Amino acid sequence: MKALKIARQSLHAVFSSKARSFLTILGIVIGIGAVIALMALGNGAKKDLTGKISILGTSNITVVPGADVKEGPGAMHAGPGQRLAGNRGASTLTQSDLESLMEKVGSSQIKGVSGNIAGTSIFTTTDGEQRFQVTGTSDDYSEIMNLGVAEGGWYTQQEVSNGAKVLVLGHDLAQDIFGEANPIGQKLAVEGADYSVIGVLDTMDENGVTNPNTGGFIPYTAARETFQTDNFTSIVVQVQDDAGVEGAKEEVTAVLLANHGAQNVDLADFTVRSSQDLLATISSITDIMTAFLAGIAAISLLVGGIGIMNIMLVSVTERTREIGLRKAVGAKTSDVLAQFLIEALLLTFTGAIIGILFGRLLSLGAGHMLGFSTIVTGGSILLAVCVAAFIGIVFGIYPAAKAARLDPIEALRYE
């Protein structure tokens, strides 16, 4: 009963001055709201990026020319995130590499392999001439990358072997060039060479690396002649299942090391990465950024806590006679301490609740503007509650202790 009575007195004291109480908790509201919103945006961005990367296929492995940049004395250096290619900067992935990996299809964890040559070409669209991505690939590429064909078909292994000048268009690119007309059978010039359109892809989700909707695809054998290159920009390997990715990476690495005459990975002139590696890297980066931004937002919580302590100290001064009267009629020091501490906690928890709602609305608005969903997790709400409790105790205990230590006789004399 005594604890309930103290709580009621604290509640009455807080709500007896609504304007002051609101201004007191405003810093907490803004701080909690900012933390919740930024964490929600970070979690949403992480989910969005993860979803886009997952479209590449979580069981796919990509081989690109050039070794990872090594740090340390005597190491070769390149810019951030870059790889060091061969001495002349040319691709080191050859037809022999592709064939060696294709020999493993069916006899190991490797399910499919595609050698890719990236290039660009200018096409005439409804908005005038524009340059688009055109990629030379193997016949397995559509299955490896889960590309659906809406009209016509994908090129066959025979067409790849013969270097046929056939072209599959992304959905958006086909619309930009042909509008409502049927593109199948039409001729398009790719870097001066005539190609026949044999297929149009379904509308695909962007994968965060390439956008198949705005590109074109041709056999890599034809791409060699058209783009005047012999080696591959990348080789994509499809693994039977997610569980076999690490084993397949080791196998691919071993095959290519033997082909390139390298003793170990440190001497390799290529890099083998899985979609899972990319997902792990993105997850790590987004987690760090979310924590960093939330830390910056938390500074306003410190300011809010100082504001609460300041107002509570003013309240102690204003209520000195009240405190003296209560102690004179028998209130214990612990009772006064508890009342002022509860008042501080009420202010901070009220601010936290409003801040959580404010943060959710703020994250929804920001997510709508940025074009991705936001995620408010239970962990972020729990963090907000814990921070509110910490602030209420830390910044409320000094004013409460000051009030509890007042001498009742001196307090009653206070004017």
CB contact at 8 A, 65 and 93: yes
How many independent structural domains does the chain possess?
2
- Each residue's pLDDT expressed in tens, for the chain with a length of 415 residues: 455 655 565 565 555 666 667 777 787 888 888 888 888 888 887 777 766 665 556 678 889 988 765 544 444 434 333 444 443 346 789 999 999 999 888 777 888 999 999 999 999 988 889 999 999 999 999 998 888 999 999 999 999 999 999 999 999 999 999 988 999 999 999 999 999 999 999 987 765 557 889 999 999 999 999 999 989 999 999 888 877 888 888 899 899 999 988 888 888 888 888 877 777 777 777 778 777 777 776 677 777 777 777 777 777 776 676 767 776 767 677 777 777 777 778 888 888 888 888 888 888 888 888 777 788 888 778 877 787 778 777 777 777 777 777 666 665 555 5
Contacts of 348 (CB under 8 A, 6+ apart): 25, 28, 305, 308, 388, 389, 391, 392, 396
Count CA atoms within 13 Å of residue 227 on its CB side. 24
Is the same domain home to 33 and 102?
Answer: no
Is the same domain home to 256 and 308?
Answer: no
Is the same domain home to 239 and 103?
Answer: yes
Helix (H) or strand (E) holding 48: helix 18-54
Residue 392 falls inside a structural domain: yes
Angle at CA of residue 13, ends 7 and 15, nearest 5°: 105
Is the same domain home to 240 and 137?
Answer: yes
Residue 240: give the domain boundaries. Answer: 93-268
Out of 239, 268, 297, a domain closes at 268
Is the same domain home to 184 and 251?
Answer: yes
Is the same domain home to 256 and 125?
Answer: yes
Q: What is the pTM of this model?
A: 0.61
Contacts of 335 (CB under 8 A, 6+ apart): 2, 6, 326
Taking the C-alpha atoms of 21, 27, 28 and 30 in order, what is their torsion angle to the nearest 10 degrees? 120
Euclidean distance between CA atoms 33 and 38, whole angstroms: 9
Residue 354 falls inside a structural domain: yes
Residue 273 falls inside a structural domain: no
Contacts of 338 (CB under 8 A, 6+ apart): 3, 6, 400
Out of 268, 300, 335, a domain closes at 268
DSSP type of residue 71: P
Is the same domain home to 148 and 221?
Answer: yes
Is the same domain home to 373 and 227?
Answer: no
Out of 268, 295, 320, a domain closes at 268
